[in-house]
Amino acid sequence: MIAAGLVTLTLSACVSAPRTADTRLPAAYEASAGTPLPDQTLDRWWTVFDDPALVQLVDAALEQSPDTRLAAARLEEARAVRRGQVRQLYIPSTPLTGSASRTSTDILDQSGSGGFIQGGDSETYSASFDVSWELDLIGRRRTAMGVVNNDLAAARFAYEGARAALAANVAQSYFQARVLAVQLDDAQQSARIATSLADLAGERSRRGLSPSSDADRIAADLAQAQAQVASLEAELQVARRSLLILTGRGVDPLASLTVPAALPDAPLTPAAVPGALLARRPDVREAQARLASASANLKVNELALFPTFTLAPGLGLTRAVSPSFFTPGTSTSTTSSAWSIGLNLSIPVLNIPKLMADIDAQDARTEQAAVTYEKTVQTAFGEAEGALLQLSADQRRVALLTAGERRAATAYEAYRRGYAAGLSDLTSALQAEQTWRAARTALSGARGQALQRAVQTYKALGGGWSPQAVPETASSR
C-alpha cells in the first residue's frame, strides 16, 4: 500500500491540464460581404454555376473516380482498425485451452511391500477457460475509447477533405478546358480574319493599289494564326483527357466529353464569416480531432501510473483414465471440475521512470498537435480571405475588360471596312486587329481566372461536403 501511495502522489504531480489551441479569428473578412448562401448550397457549390455538364462531371467524379475509391478504402481501413481496437478494449483476449496425453508404463522391477504399483496405459484430458478482465475503476478504458473515436473522426474528415478537393479539381480542370476552347475559337476566328485580309491584300496588290509586301506580311500573320490553332487544339485534347481521368472515365473517347467554347460570368462572392471555418473546413476539423486524440493519449499514459486491478475467474475440467490396481486388465477413470476466482493487483513501481518518459514524449506530441491545429486554422483563414479578395478583384477586372473588348471590336471593324474601301492603310487595320485580339485574349483569360477563383473560394470556405453528415467526435460529447 505504501507503493500504491507513492504512485498516486507521483501521478498527481505529473497530471497535465487539457491542451487547448488558440483558434481566435477576426469577426469578418476584409472582402465585401457578398451574397448569403444556405449551407446546402455551399455543400454542393458546383450547382451555383448553373452548368449541367459541370454538375454531371463532379457527381461522376465523387462516385467513381480513382481518388474517391482510394479515399473510401482508407476510411474503411480506419473503421476496421477501430473495430479491432474496440474488441481489444472490451472483449477479453482469453483462450480456451485444452490438452490430452497418453502414458504407457512398464514395470521393470518391483521390491518391498509398501503400496501397489500397476503398469499399463494412462490417459489424461483437461480443458480450462481462464479469463483476465481489467476493472476500469479510474476510466482508463473510457479514455482509450476517446483515442479510438477521435482517430476515426480524423480519418473521416480526411476522407471528406479528399472529396472536397476532388470536386474543386474537376471544376477547375473543366473551366480550364473551356478557356482553351474559347482561345481555340478565337485563334480560328483570327485565322479566318487573317485569311480575309490576305485575300484583300492580294487583290489590292494585283490591281496595283498596294505593294506586294503587304500581302507577304499578312501571309506571315496567317501562318502564325494557323500554328496557334494547331497548338491550342493539342492543348485542348490533353485537357479533355485529364478531365476524363479525374472523373474516372480515363478510357472513354475524347468525343464523349463536350467542352463549350464559351465562358459564363463567375457567381457573386458568397457571404461568410471566419468563425464558420472551424466547422466547415474538413482539414480544420481533422486537426481538431487529432489534437483531441493526442490529448486522450496523454491521459492514457498518465493513467498507466495507477495500480491495475484485474479480475481473474477460471473454469477447468479434467478426466484421467488409469489402470486399475485391484482388477488387472481393467482401468478406472476420474472426472473432476474446478472453478476459481481471483483479484490481481499490479503496481508499476520499477516502471515509473519509463512511464514518465512516455508521458513526456506524448506531451510533446500533444503540443505538436495543438500547434498544427492553430496553424491549420490560420492557414484556412488566410486562404479564405485571399480567395474572397482575389475573386472580387477578378470580377471587377472582367467588367473592365468586357467594355474594352467591345470598343476594340468596334474600332477594328471600322478599320477593316476602311481598308477594304481604300480609305485607310493596312498598318492601321493590322494595328486595330492586333488590339482587338489582345483585348479578346485578355478577356478570355480574365473570365477563366474568375471562374477558377470562384471554385477556389468555395473550397476555401469549406464547401464541397456536409458537416451535418459527420458524427461528432468522442471529445465533444
Q: Report yes or no: 269 and 460 within 8 Å, Cβ to Cβ.
A: no
Identity of residue 443: L
pLDDT at position 1 is 45
How many CB atoms lie under 10 A from the CB of residue 181?
21
Q: How is residue 270 annotated by DSSP? A: B
> Burial level of 255, CB count in 10 A (0-12/13-18/19+)?
exposed
Task: Quote the mean pLDDT of the chain.
Answer: 84
Measured at the alpha carbon of residue 294, what is the angle toward residues 291 and 296, in degrees to the nearest 5? 110
- Helix (H) / strand (E) element for 329: namely none
- Helix (H) / strand (E) element for 256: namely none
Q: Quick check: helix, strand or coil at residue 70?
A: helix
Closest to 152 in 3D by CA, of 293, 281, 277: 293
pLDDT at position 475 is 43
CA dihedral 463, 465, 468, 470 (to 10 degrees): -130
pLDDT at position 476 is 38
**pLDDT (tens digit per residue) in 207-256:** 666 666 767 777 887 888 889 889 999 999 999 999 999 998 888 898 88
Distances in Å between the Cα of 199 and the Cα atoms of 214, 227, 415, 421, 433 are 11, 19, 16, 14, 16
How many CB atoms lie under 10 A from the CB of residue 20?
11
Specify whether domain 22-94+138-306+350-476 bears CATH 1.20.1600.10.
Answer: yes
Distance CA 112, CA 223 (A): 124
pLDDT at position 329 is 62
Sorted by sequence, the CB contacts under 8 Å of residue 295 that are 6+ apart come out as 18, 19, 366, 369, 475
Q: What is the pLDDT along the chain (477 residues), one digit of tens a residue?
A: 444 454 454 545 555 666 788 888 888 887 765 677 666 788 999 999 989 999 999 999 999 999 999 999 999 999 999 888 888 888 876 778 888 888 887 776 666 555 555 667 778 888 888 888 788 888 888 998 999 999 999 999 999 999 999 999 999 999 999 999 998 988 888 788 777 777 777 767 676 666 667 677 778 878 888 898 899 999 999 999 999 999 988 888 988 888 888 888 888 777 888 998 999 999 999 999 999 999 999 999 999 999 988 888 888 888 887 776 666 667 778 888 888 888 888 889 888 999 999 999 999 999 999 999 999 999 999 999 999 999 989 989 999 999 999 999 999 888 888 877 777 777 777 778 878 888 888 898 899 999 999 999 999 999 999 888 765 554 433
Distances in Å between the Cα of 90 and the Cα atoms of 45, 97, 129, 400 are 43, 21, 18, 67
Distance CA 196, CA 186 (A): 15
Secondary structure of 17-42 in HEC code, one letter for each residue: CCCCCCCCCCCCCCCCCCECCCHHHH
Distance CA 365, CA 371 (A): 10
